[in-house]
Structure formats: structure tokens, C-alpha cells
Structure 1
Amino acid sequence: MQPEQQLANETNPAALHPNWQHDDHLINLLARNAREYPDRVAMRERDQGIWQEYTWADYLDQVLSFAAGLEARGVGEEDNILVIGDNRPALYFGMLGAVALRAVPSPAYPDTTPDEVADQLRREGIRFALAEDQEQVDKLLQIRESYPELELVIYDDPRGLAGKEPSGVAAFRDIAAEGRKRLEGDASLRGSLTGRATVHDVAVLLHSSGTTGAPKGIPLKHGHILAGVRNAAAAGYFDQGEIHMAYLPLAWVGDFIFSVGAAIALQFSVNIPERQETALHDLREIAPTLYFSSPRAWSNMLTRIQVGIDESTGFKRWLYNRFMPFAVELERRRLNGQAPSGGERAWRALGEVLVYGPIKDQLGLGRVERPYTAGEAIGEEVFLFFRALGLNLRQFYGQTENCALCAAQDPDTLKLHTVGKPFPGVDVRISDDGEIIMRGDNVFDGYYNKPESTAETLQDGWLHTGDAGYLEEDGQIVVLGRVSEVVYTAAGERFIPTYVENHLKFSQYIKDVCVVGEGRDHLTAIVCIDIDAVGHWAEEHGVPYTSYADLSQKQPVYDLLQGVIAHVNTKLPEGLQIRRFVNLHKEFDPDDGEVTRTRKLRRNVIDQHYAPIIEALYDGRTEIEYEARITYETGESGVLRRHLAIRDLPAAGNQ
């Protein structure tokens, strides 16, 4: 899309989406829910152990009251409003209150640094912010010292703030109370606030991960979100009245689509855990019917199960070891088209009573009918395990630019190596250079104030996803990795580092890994161990350790990781096998700029930070004394010296 074409679309948005209906927007649908299901629970929050409920009538009242209060404080159309914090009802109400005014919520991850938040405020000209608690308010007040344009900071949690608010800081409940008085004094205001938005308005301003530079703003309109949700529902991936747990970051597209878009369009009951730390405990009380989690979280859940089994009674371990391998193998054969025998079905039914059902109940997944994963590839071991439990786990595929809803695996034609077929209403094809491109009403209309980036990404109505892949004969999509990351070894071997990295991260023992090899004679890897999984392994095998850095350098841990990497090497051509690796003394850290908030690698930063280690990986050394500059919580900095071992791997024969 050319810049002048984008400008034309902005002045006449209906030309882009002629089938959209003017009044088909989230606020109108919320009002419909309040009218048709006033007493049905729309949202629940666990607060100090007690579930606080909001009906659809309460939900609408909170949104409109806050909208009226915001308007009285000067918020108007197209104002961008920062939203920062963990999942809280007030933050959801606040985002939709802004939307009712035709303003735009712009969420940030709660652990975003002050510098990163300040950049977002400046890029988007933000004057108003909605924050969860004192921690976030303090962050914003620090920023306001150099960014005085931030006029008003609104907070939800009163602890440490109530009655002691600095100038320009106000409580959510006070803003809502002011708005409620306006609504009581003006009989027409409620209807006005409900009907101002249009299907062509931006409902949320999300952001790219920023792996190669500053994050790009991704405006998603009401029409985009509702098209994506309805496409997924038409394919059976959402159902009316789902019970859903909202615990994923507000700034991530998946949370807005599930917890706001789909929840309002399909009358979900959205349940919010007390804290991120209690999410897994609260999950059991919630017992959702719809559950979405990242591959990393599914892997962590499997590790938790395995640790629990190891620490249980001998009889329980015997039952688990008798029934789980059987169920995994049965599921593997089923996916290969082999039907179980009558005896196997009977044994599977017995296992459901003795093992599979109790595990699902303990996890809080006993009622889940639609469990999903997305964001990156999931390990075959993890995927098969949860499907063997009887969970119909499937992968989604999408990007923020298409509301995260492009394709998903179908339960009847599921293949481990694909991400499934496109949803109804979504067209997918492969470009001449092997890139996955797609179009549909769920595709955004362009980046925020980035016409050149828009022109690169949207061409002739097609979204260029940036992913390399291909379509199988039955229309299923295979994703290989990012097109921009296709590189070549010195011998001209073409490879995508993320493809190799994902296969390594299928192991529970590897949290992050960076594969190096562009222009080199062979591939090497910088590995960050998973402290929980490797720590448990170390305890089980009598390997003492004092810290992450100490554990990472233990020779038995190197042996463990060498086995993982050697196994992956058997699946790679000889020229693309990893020949050397090092265990890093620390995790890749988003605060150090090494990974994004969604844990995508920033390779240029890693190349810079660990240049001496990379050099040692290729010059034959078997160890390196590495000096790392660190910044303490006080702001003071220092140098940390670590002795890192480097391990060689022999070439592996392909299987």
C-alpha cells in the first residue's frame, strides 16, 4: 500500500471494508449483552480469596461511568491512553471507557522499563494513563519529570496512594463516580456514549515486538477484531458463553482478542486470578471451558506434573508410568491414522478414571473443551502429552496484524508439523519468494504513523506475514520461520535460526537459545538453561549447586544439554548441525534488551553483548573468562566475571 493510498483509506475507511456495518462495534455489543443478559456474570476477579462478580449490566455501567468521567477530564476522540499493569477489571473497563469516547487504549507490558514507556508516550503523544497500582504510578511520575505532557495518571489499586495522591493523579473509582453523576444529571448521555463509536474506529493500539528496532504501533479496529472472532467461531474454535481465564499480558494481542473481543461478542465469562503468582492455583477454581497458553507455559505445566509425580507415593508413580506412556503412544498412532483396538479403548477408559482425569482436575483443566497454544512452535513431547491426557490441544497461527486469528489445527485432520487450515473468511497463499501472505477483514489497515512500513507489509490487499512456509495439498500451513532470518553458512547452506532454536527449546531443560552460524563454517549455540527443570534434574541426580550461574557450568548439566543438542542434530543436515555450544551464566533479559517482552531474540543485541563468547565458540577455545557489566537495583553498575565452558559435539548421522 502506497502512502497516498493509506491516506485515502484513512479519509474513507468504508472503501476498505464495504461489508462492515456502521454500528457493529464493541460498545454496542456490550450494551446488547447488558440488555439481553443483565444478570449473567460477565467478569469475576479473585480479591483476597473471594470472587467478586460483575454482571453484564455492571460491566456496561462501569464502562460508561468511567467514559463520562474521562470526558469530563478532557479526554476526546483519537486521544491515545496508556494502560499499564496486570489483568484487573478496572483496566478492562478503562480501555472500553476510552473506546466509548472514540479514544484509543495503548497497553504496555507491566514490566516495561521507564525508558521504554517514555518512548511509547512520546511516539503516540499520550497525555493520559491508566495504571494498576503504586508501582506503575511511581514509574509514570518518574517519566513525567521529563515528559510534562502527561496530564493525568489514573490508578486502580488504592494501597499506598489513596488520600496521598500527587497532583495529576486520581483514582479510577473517583473518575467513575464523577462520570456516574454526569450520567444521572443528563438523561441523554448514556445513549450518546453507547452510540458514538463506529465499526471503523480503532479499538486498541497494540505494538510489534520490536526485535529489530522500536516497536511499531498496530491499530486494530472494531471491524478487524469482530471479523477475526467471528471467523474463528464459524470454524468451531470459539463457542457462546465460554468460561475463560484472563491472565495473559494486556499488551499482548491474544488477551484483547480473547478477554475483550470474543468475550463481548460471544458472552464469555471472564475470570481474573488474584495475582500472576496464583494463576495456576486459581485456574482450578475457575475450571475454564476455553484455555489459551503459550508453548512455554504448557511445557512448564508438564514439568510441574512430572515433579509432582516424582514426589508422590510409589503406587501413584506406578500408575502414572503404566498409563501415561500407553496414552502417549496411542495418541501418536491415532494422529497417524491408526484406530485403537477395543482392548486399547477399554484400557484408555480405565486410565481416564485412575490417571488422566485426576491430573486434569488437579490442573484445573477438567472442563476444558477448547485448549489452544500459539506464539511459537510447541514441542512434540509436550503436545502429545496433553493430547494423551484427553485434552484436544491445538495450535493457532496468526500475528497481531491479523488479530492473531489466521488459522488453526482441525481436530479431524491434525498434523504435528502444520498449524492447520485458514479460518473461513481468510485467504492464504505463498508468494514467489516463499513467504506466507494472507488477506481478510481481520487484517489491519496499516501501522500507526508508519506509511513506509505499511507499504512494505500490505501489498495489493495482502498482508505479508514475514513468515517463510508452504501449503500442503490439503491446504494446511507449514511455518518454517521468519523470512528476514533466512541466512547462509560459509558453505552456502540455507537455514533459519528460529527453526533450529524452536527444536532445541522443545526440551524442558532449555529456556532460551541463540543459534549462530551466518557466514560461518558451522553452527554454534548459546544456551540458557531452564532453572526449574534443570534444578529439579540436578536434585534428582545428586548434583549440588548454589546459583543459576553455578548450575549452568556443572559438567553433568553440560552432558545433559549435549544429549539434547545431539538429538536435534540427528534431524538436521550435516552442514546445519550444531558443532559447539556454551551454557550462558544467566538468562537472556528483556531489561538488557536481549529479548523482547514476549521473549523474542534481539539478535543484534546478543551479537554485541556476547561477541567475546561467539568469538571463542569459533576459535577453538574450550573455555572463556567472560566479563559482564551488570546494573544493580540501586542503579549502580559493576562487572561480573564468569568462567564459561565450551563443549564440542561430533557430527551426527541423520535418522
Structure 2
Amino acid sequence: MPQTLPQALLHQAHTRGSAIALRYKRLGIWHERSWSELAHDVSGLAAALYTLGFGRDDNMLIISQARPEALSLTLAAQWLGGSVTLLDPNCDNRALLADLKPGFVLAENLEALQQLHERGVALYLDGRGLNHPQFADVIAYADLGTDTPAPACALEATAPAFVFHTETTVQLSHAQLLTGARTLVTREQLSGDEEALAARVFAASGQARYLLAPWLHAGFRLNFPEALATRDTDRRELGPTLVLGTRESYARLEQSIHERLPLPGTFGHRLYLWAMQPTPSRVRRWLGHWLIRRPLLDVLGMSRLRVPLLIGPALSPRSAAFFGALGIHPGNWQEPSSRQASTDHLLPQSV
């Protein structure tokens, strides 16, 4: 049984090598990477990081939206026994970065690099605007490569995989993440046939617990939208079977539907209210489904949804009623306390 996240990746590459591990969209076109291709990519990145001096007990700081490159470099750093800290590029991280003084950084773009007061080895994804002499030493992610093979994959299950800086510093070990992933996969009956959308930045521990680790354990497909602005369009195009969200993200989707509804008092609005009300009538349920509820699910990109997950606080009564009328009842997974998450590396977390 795999003991670390990169070991779980290698296990999937060995058992499901040709199956699709992830998809990502570029210029409107979906690209795919199989499990074997992804494992090869991560191994190559681990070798390149090793030549740059990254090793066991080092931390890789990543300031990026959810992108496949950030995910691959995360697994490469963990391959070498290091940990990863993920920050949202849309937040002002300057005060935190001044304290951290990171030795290894992956920055999404110029704006992310400019948040750094000091930097060691710095990598970037988007090079626009980086022709200034002050960025002469930064390295393009696309240029990472070496002929030297990667060291053997680290095996320490209790080593920290992620370090999150919120109110306190929270460390999540490989063992903690994989134990939680097994619990979630069993409880939600996840399989390798799931389609999940990685629309949110990975800077929250819930993403590591309830999306990344289960993805590696179950071997389903992880899909990256082209940009945050296109996530709703891309969700409709994909029709994911697994959605991970928060109270706020579900409320945002609900609000997007309410903004499309006909004006109150019109026939269309009365039909919507009629279709969304619970009823013992089979005919009314059938008509309401095909006239209103099924089209709404298509607009939300949730017509194939099988496993809705919710992290943190429960939905508001209004949101719960709205999604409940559509047949969506998110399974709630509560985040453990910061103290528990940072000290209890081996025990499964309460959900």
C-alpha cells in the first residue's frame, strides 16, 4: 500500500498507466495526461529540482491558481521528501512572505513574483513582463530538465506533505492525507470513473484532503479549467461527477441561477416555483424535472453529478432548499481544528 502521495502516483501509473489522470484546457482545447505520462513528468521534475539543490526537509512555495504545472511540481517536491506551501496569488501575501523567506518558489506570473521580498531559487509559469534585469535569475518552468535520473521516491509516511499558513501553521502528513482519502473514497464510494473539476486554488487544506489525496488514491480524472473566469463554462462542458465546494461556492452557483430566472409574477417564474416544490405527485415530479430542474442542472454543469462534497460550514437554509430541490445533497466534511491537524499526523480525522 502506498505510504506517500508520490508513491500513490506511481501505484496508479503501474496499475492504470494508460488511463487519463488529468485534463487541462489551453486556448479552448482540452489536453490529456495519462497516469504513466504524469508519473514520468513528475519524475523528471524531481530530477530537475534535485539538481537545483532541493532536498529532504526543504519547502517548495507555490503561488498559483489551480494549474497542472503546480500540481506536478507539488508531487515532484514531495518525491524528494520535501513539503509544499500553497498560496493564493490573488491575495496579498507580502507580509507572510517576508517572514517565510522561501528558498524555492514557483510563481504563476509577474504579479506573484513581485510579492516576494526575498527569494532563493525562483521558477515561473507565465513569463510576460519578466524581461526586467531584476528577474534575470528566475527560471522558466518549461526549461526545467536534466539528463540525471531522479533519486528514489521518498518513503516517510509521517513527513509533512503540505504546510499551510492560516491563523496558525498547519502541517498535513502523507499518512494523514492518505488515511483521510481512504475514508472518503469508502464513504462516498468513489471509483476511477469519477470526473472531478479542480476549479479552486489549492491554497486551502480542504483541497489537499478531499480532492488531491482522493484523486491519487482512487485514480479518477482531475480536470483543470482554462481560467477561473471560465470555470462555469468548463464545468458545463465536462459534466463532472464529483464536485468539491464550500458554503460560499455553492451559494455563488445558486445566485447565478436566480439571476437568470424570469421576473417574479411572470408565467415562467410561477412555473419555476411550481417545479421546485416537493410533491407526492409522480406526474408533477416528472414534468418539473424535464421542464425546469433538468435544464437548471445542465446550466450548472451538474447533470451528471453523483458526489457533491461540502467543506466547512453547512449550506444556508436557502441554498440547502435550492440544491435539495434539484436532488443535490452535499456530503459535509468538517475540517479538523488547526491544533489537531498540525499534531495528529497518523490518526484519521473526524468528518
TM-score when scaled to structure 1?
0.50
Which residue number in structure 2 is paired with residue 535 of structure 1?
none
> What is the CA–CA distance in structure 1 between the aligned matches of 2:27 and 2:322, rounded to whole Å?
34
Q: What amino acid is aligned across from residue 285 of structure 1 in structure 2?
A: E
1:129 — aligned with what? 105
CA distance 1:358–1:257, change in 2 (3 Å): same
Larger mean CA deviation between 232-241 and 31-40 belongs to: 232-241
- Describe how 1:553-572 pairs up with structure 2 within 5 A: none
1:187-226 to 2 correspondences below 5 Å: 189=150, 192-193=151-152, 195-208=153-166, 210=167, 216-226=168-178
Q: CA deviation at 1:358?
A: 0.8
**Contact 2:78-2:154 within 8 A present in 1 as well:** no
Instruction: Look up the SS of the partner of 1:139 in the other structure.
Output: coil
Give how far 1:462 is off. 11
State which of 61, 71, 91 in structure 2 corresponds to 1:92. 71
- The one-letter code sitting in structure 1 at the alignment partner of 2:129 is G
Matched, 1:139 2:92: no
CA RMSD in angstroms, aligned pairs only: 2.6
Partner of 1:385: 322
The alpha-carbon deviation at position 112 of structure 1 amounts to 3.1
1:116 shift after superposition = 2.5
Gap change, CA 1:268 and 1:400, over 3 Å in 2? farther
Structure 2 residue 23 is matched with structure 1 residue 57:
no
Structure with greater Cα Rg: 1
Deviations 1:234-281, CA, capped at 9 Å, x for gaps: 223644332111122211012122342111111121111111111111
Aligned to 2:304: 367
Amino acid at match of 2:26: D
1:601-640 alpha-carbon deviations (Å, 9 max, x no partner): xxxxxxxxxxxxxxxxxxxxxxxxxxxxxxxxxxxxxxxx
The answer to which structure, 1 or 2, has the higher relative contact order (CA under 8 A, 6+ apart) is 2
Count residues with an aligned counterpart: 349
Q: Aligned in 2, Cα 1:239/1:164: closer, same or farther, shift over 3 Å?
A: farther
Amino acid of the residue matched to residue 156 of structure 1? L
Deviation at 1:83, TM superposition (A): 0.8
Q: Indicate if the aligned counterparts of 1:374 and 1:396 stay in contact, CA closer than 8 A.
A: yes
SS in 1 for 2:60: strand
The reply on whether 1:155 has 2:124 as its aligned counterpart is yes
> What amino acid does structure 2 have at the position aligned with 1:205?
V
Q: Deviations over 1:79-120 (max 9, x none)?
A: 112111101111000111000010111111223324333245
Q: 1:38 is paired with a residue of what secondary structure?
A: coil
Q: How big is each residue's C-alpha offset from its partner over 1:278-308, in whole Å with a ceiling of 9 and x where there is no partner?
A: 1111110121101111112222222221120
CA contact (8 A) 1:245 1:273 kept: yes
Amino acid at match of 1:398: E
- The equivalent residue for 1:182 is 148
Q: Deviations over 1:51-98 (max 9, x none)?
A: 121111121122111111011011111011211110111100011100
Partner of 1:548 in structure 2? none
Indicate how the Cα distance of structure 1 residues 63 and 300 shifts in structure 2: closer, same or farther if over 3 A, else same. Answer: same
Counterpart contact for 2:170–2:338, Cα < 8 Å:
yes
Asked whether the equivalents of residues 106 and 122 of structure 2 are also in contact (C-alpha less than 8 Å), the reply is: yes
- Structure 2 Cα separation of the partners of residues 46 and 94 of structure 1: 18
The alignment partner of 2:244 has SS state of strand
Cα distance in structure 2, aligned partners of 1:100 and 1:289: 29
How far does the alpha carbon of each residue in 1:155-191 deviate from its partner, in whole angstroms, 9 at most, with x for none? 112333379782330011212x23xx223xxxxx4xx
Percent of paired sites with the same residue: 25
Map 1:578-593 to 2 at 5 A.
none
Instruction: Report what 1:565 is aligned to.
Output: none
Q: In the alignment, which residue of structure 2 is the partner of 1:591?
A: none
Which residue, out of 265, 275, 281, partners 2:217? Answer: 265
Q: C-alpha offsets along residues 129-150 of structure 1, whole Å, 9 cap, x if unaligned? A: 011122212222xx12xxxxx2
- 2:188 is paired with a residue whose SS is coil
Which letter does structure 2 place at the counterpart of 1:369? R
Deviation for aligned residue 1:382: 0.9
Change (3 A) 1:158 1:206: same
- Tell me whether 1:283 sits opposite 2:252 in the alignment: no
The letter of the residue matching 1:182 is T
Runs ≥4 residues deviating over 4 A: 162-165, 311-315
SS at match of 2:202: coil
Give the equivalent residue in structure 2 for 1:376.
313
Gaps of 5+ in 2: none
Q: 1:291 to 1:71 in 2, by over 3 A?
A: same
Question: Structure 1: how far apart are the matches of 2:293 and 2:204?
Answer: 32
Distance change in 2, residues 1:400/1:36 (3 Å): farther
Aligned match of 1:354 in 291, 299, 303?
291
1:233 CA displacement: 2.0
1:491-542 Cα deviation digits (max 9, x unpaired) = xxxxxxxxxxxxxxxxxxxxxxxxxxxxxxxxxxxxxxxxxxxxxxxxxxxx
Measure, in 1, the Cα distance between the counterparts of 2:134 and 2:189. 45
Deviations 1:532-586 (A, max 9, x none): xxxxxxxxxxxxxxxxxxxxxxxxxxxxxxxxxxxxxxxxxxxxxxxxxxxxxxx
Contact 1:243 1:290 survives alignment (8 Å): yes
Shift in CA distance, 292/239, structure 1 to aligned 2, threshold 3 Å: same
Distance 1:394 1:378 in 2: 11
Cα distance between partner residues in 1 of 2:212 and 2:106: 17
Unaligned 5+ runs, structure 1: 1-20, 145-149, 184-188, 211-215, 331-339, 403-442, 447-457, 466-476, 478-655
